[in-house]
Structure 1
């Protein structure tokens, strides 16, 4: 028993030496300065809306900073506690929810949509897999001009599906990859039909509560949300409050809110198999093929790309007043999450740049 304890202590000591308290090390101070430099090029107006960024290695934060204001009217600075709308990063949670139901034997990703919605057009040809991978050919509701007619309405999930279901298909299922919000709204509806719970309730019970994501929730502009970051848009004459929409419209394709800290908990929960077993989770991070055998770079809720020989998992989001981007490097367990509260400040490229910069710095260190 003593040998085991000594070995465990030794491994912990080695881990501390490698990871340690990197913000106090010379190399990490250098990394911090380089990350600051990248972000200050994006957030040039310290009195405007800004963003919150977190970098983690092996599940532990090694960099976390806020830039700009959480609320312009009240002149309140952003902090690491602020809650942002994450837009299409919601799709990760929807995809994992589908896999949770599959692992419980409630559905299969190979099921046809017609199994759950018998009257859905082409439902006998479109599978849940097609919806997850954006290969269904369903018309994306965000491209429909009539969207403006319902943007302020409170819609049920069925009403949202009915809104786009009779639109002509863009292509046959499996013929093409084309990023599609309608597919993920349909997935949210299927989650409700299979589980017997509202999407919001399912996410809360099966993900947020289990992971301890206590600052994450379904978005609302009416509820009192502690530490809310207010969303802004930039016009030629200055900043304005974001356009208001009903969150029942983006629904399971883009209506969740979170913090950088909670998003790190999410990434760690996936790594630790707290929600799914290894084999089931692997489906989310597998590259699939079209009908013609051509491989595309999207799994279930994540883009899977290669940048200069480094495999990345990433996904962003954009919704009125907010943008988000999360990048994960599996080989080195590096996670970078960037959340901004103005759609004038995109974290997309800088988040990836920070991830690759961190990878390079840690290899040198």
Structure 2
């Protein structure tokens, strides 16, 4: 639900490969390494042609009781829920209960521009409705129950970011409203609709609309890392609704996306509408390209949970990753899985810590600017470590991997300094940007 610092698009390295040659030992090694170094807690499933060819889990459902996770552990999946909600909207369209071009004023007369905003605009984030989870006071009520009426009121009183269909910008509010539309047309709670139309037909045994985390039913707490794992707050799921309230596990997620792309949930014609990208957004779906190949899916984040679901149509390959504790770049885990499938090289991370003298760190302090991107990064020192802070964002710690190279594994950021030239290179997501000290 919330954006990560320096969030980057998924980058996939792909070439032809075969499941029978899947390099499971490589993924095993990565998971052991991440587990040993407190970099990741979570689970993965890789499926081809409807058959799981790899699954694994590391970490804990509950650290305080040392309850270990396994492949049956269930996670909050955040915004991957939007793919399910989109499928439900298209089912309603196929049942002649809705259409993409109808405006939403019938359902939400108090929402600004409701007479111009369509169902389609909500699905592909072209409504202009303010993202409610970006509200300045959001953290003061995110753990408290919110009624449907209160959520509509909060959305209706928010500002309009742009005129409908003039641009696209991610907004959870869109899918909260879509949830309420589904409940109106079916005269049932969202939890019943999704159970009846998706969960039961696909026999998804570990997927449902969530509530308060229940460790006795193989759900798990989520955590953030700051020297040690710390339990995260727990969002009340009355807030995200169909934008981010589902609970699932990787195996169930692969079943869902395989059936979606097989036309077994909605028609293939409507799946193609979901895949149609405009201004980087599809309908409840993103495109993740690399060279001539592309995959489709969605990522998710709520509290300390992070997740990703992606599907490659040609190979009928589904990859699902869930996490309840992340101190490493999620994309790198996906890249390891894909390199294991497509038989491509993958460099294992090195988590050996390097301790540097204060005078070495001092030469890097200052504010850096780039001609390539409109962003300044200020480097400061806290105790015996460097901190970095980008314009308008929170500061984050840097870990030295050498005397000149520092990293922030959680976002896949690497900073390489050349003190003599007063330069710093930012590396992330396969891209490099040169910065100069002011």
TM-score > 0.5 by shorter chain: yes
- Comparing both structures, which one devotes a greater share of its residues to strand? 2
Query: 1:327 touches 1:351 (CA, 8 Å); kept in 2?
Result: no
Of 165, 168, 190, which aligns to 1:174? 165
* 1:24-53 C-alpha deviation (Å, 9 max, x unpaired): x5x33xx1123334444544436x861111
Query: 1:49 touches 1:72 (CA, 8 Å); kept in 2?
Result: no
Of 186, 196, 214, which aligns to 1:195? 186
Shift in Å, 1:276: 1.3
- Comparing both structures, which one devotes a greater share of its residues to helix? 1
Partner of 1:300: 283
Shift in Å, 1:102: 0.4
SS at match of 1:325: strand
C-alpha distance 78-205 of structure 1, shift in aligned 2 (>3 A) = same
Partner of 1:8: none
Shift in Å, 1:234: 1.7
Shift in Å, 1:355: 2.8
Partner of 2:104: 113
Query: How many residues of Structure 1 are paired with residues of Structure 2 in the alignment?
Result: 328
* 1:216-247 C-alpha deviation (Å, 9 max, x unpaired): 111222556511122112234x2221112211
TM-score (norm 2): 0.70
Partner Cα separation in structure 2 for residue 196 and residue 95 of structure 1: 18
Partner of 1:57: 48
Of 41, 61, 67, which aligns to 1:76? 67
Please, which moves more after superposition, 341-350 or 166-175?
341-350
Partner Cα separation in structure 1 for residue 36 and residue 162 of structure 2: 43
Unpaired runs of at least 5, structure 2: 1-16, 345-438
Partner of 1:335: 318
SS at match of 1:340: strand
Query: 2:214 touches 2:220 (CA, 8 Å); kept in 1?
Result: no
Structure 1 stretches (4+) deviating beyond 6 angstroms? Answer: none
SS at match of 2:251: helix
Partner of 1:257: 247
2:273 matched to 1:283? yes
Shift in Å, 1:287: 2.0
2:28 matched to 1:45? no
Structure with larger Rg: 2
Unpaired runs of at least 5, structure 1: 1-17, 289-295
Shift in Å, 1:92: 0.6
Of 114, 120, 132, which aligns to 1:123? 114
SS at match of 1:276: coil
Partner of 1:36: 28
Partner of 2:223: 232
